Structure 1
């Protein structure tokens, strides 16, 4: 039987931005069907890593394989590959002059030739999947923060991508809305057979739904393993991050951080 390739595989990856190296020596294998939490302090390069996975940022060194093959170099082929990658942005990215249903329909109208009745049915199914079927005709300004995040999630799922990337999905949400989003991510990952990478600095909310955890700090991966192993680690750097301590191996120097992650 032929082995199934990992959905994401990085080897010797170095990522540069603004003339400086943000991440270096990154080796990562993400199994299909898993939920991987990518944790780390702000500015550590977590969002830069996501940019490499979507092809937005080309590696300075090393290789990036997504969906079983290296990311293509041509723009047309890269856009085709991106159809298999759903991305939930920090700011939702909803168009304010379109309803929730119209926002979710955008990818379907742009990338398929499906007739309008089929698109309407698919949009209804996506809204139902995130528990917002009755919000189809509401505009973004009429949605709460948690509702807007779920509409953005439904839009990210519109083309049924096998890989989902979540960039700080809990930003700006109250504790209840954050709990709803994390529960929804876990349920959708299981029911739809997805693979998910969750970039976050919300450790307490993210680790319970994750199968695997990475911690990025000081330009490298400083931990890779299970959430239980992370929480049990005696490593001073990891203890500082998990406990939110201001002093330790992770320096707090806001002026030196030019990449928000």
Structure 2
């Protein structure tokens, strides 16, 4: 993947469908390279569907989507090559329970490179040190706290030095202290490594302080795109409902039927 110039992501008129239903439509968005962008919105509005499109898992039904000025490829070999440049931190961490912390972090390196073992081990040490877990290399996932497991998953996502990082609800299941540690790590690593970071979350107050750009998704589209300061100053009833946690407003509370549809959209 070439070194990014101006924009890491560019979407124009993108429509995303699942199961014959339109989840998101008319998406126009640019994400500057080296920025931290928060993608916020109520649960089930399609934030994770957007991530699926960015990784090539979901092909847009309409519009154009470019990553570092290149269209997301359709061929499996080209798509695999593109994905080497995208790190993804999953909600459930995705750690393999029968591998140690060090072996979990080493997995992408063993899969995609032919590095000699001493260099591979050194890189694993560096990644674990970057997330403050160098001393946990020999532990297993079952021996980790929720916050530690999330940091191991972050170290693994960074193993191949991707220029683009995607975070899917990185604070799910974490206590306030662990959440603060994760957000601080995301900010520090993004700045120090020059990464472009996309954080999908519904944790508004934890995410806004580190974001350069905020995108709010609701009602099948982007309803806000701007700075955190502009978001917090907004008087739009839909934005205020989301930020203030109001049960009544332009964003409908889901019924049982809507809940099943939203689960698919997420």
TM class by smaller structure: over 0.9
Task: Return the alpha-carbon distance in structure 1 between the equivalents of residues 62 and 14 of structure 2.
Answer: 6
Task: Return the alpha-carbon distance in structure 2 between the equivalents of residues 72 and 260 of structure 1.
Answer: 23
How many residues are treated as equivalent by the alignment?
Answer: 259
Q: In the alignment, is residue 133 of structure 1 matched against residue 134 of structure 2?
A: yes
Task: Return the alpha-carbon distance in structure 2 between the equivalents of residues 76 and 171 of structure 1.
Answer: 32
Task: Return the alpha-carbon distance in structure 2 between the equivalents of residues 226 and 166 of structure 1.
Answer: 19
Deviation (angstroms), 1:260: 5.4
After TM superposition, the structure 1 = structure 2 runs for residues 1-261 of structure 1, keeping only pairs within 5 Å, are 4-254=5-255, 255-256=257-258, 257-259=262-264, 261=266
Encode CA deviations 1:148-194: one digit per residue, 9 max, x unaligned.
00000000000000000000000000000000000000000001110
Tell me the secondary structure at the aligned position of residue 258 of structure 1.
helix
Aligned-pair Cα RMSD in Å: 1.0
Task: Return the alpha-carbon distance in structure 1 between the equivalents of residues 88 and 240 of structure 2.
Answer: 30
Task: Return the alpha-carbon distance in structure 2 between the equivalents of residues 245 and 259 of structure 1.
Answer: 24
Deviation (angstroms), 1:4: 2.4
Q: Confirm or deny: 8 A CA contact 2:237 2:250 kept in the other structure.
A: yes
Write out the 4+ residue segments of structure 1 that deviate beyond 3 Å after TM superposition.
Answer: none
Deviation (angstroms), 1:5: 3.8
Encode CA deviations 1:30-57: one digit per residue, 9 max, x unaligned.
0011000000000110000000000000
Tell me the secondary structure at the aligned position of residue 23 of structure 1.
strand
Normalised to the residue count of structure 2, the TM-score between the two structures is: 0.96
Q: Confirm or deny: 8 A CA contact 1:130 1:184 kept in the other structure.
A: yes
Tell me the secondary structure at the aligned position of residue 217 of structure 2.
strand
Tell me the secondary structure at the aligned position of residue 239 of structure 2.
helix
Q: Confirm or deny: 8 A CA contact 2:88 2:168 kept in the other structure.
A: yes
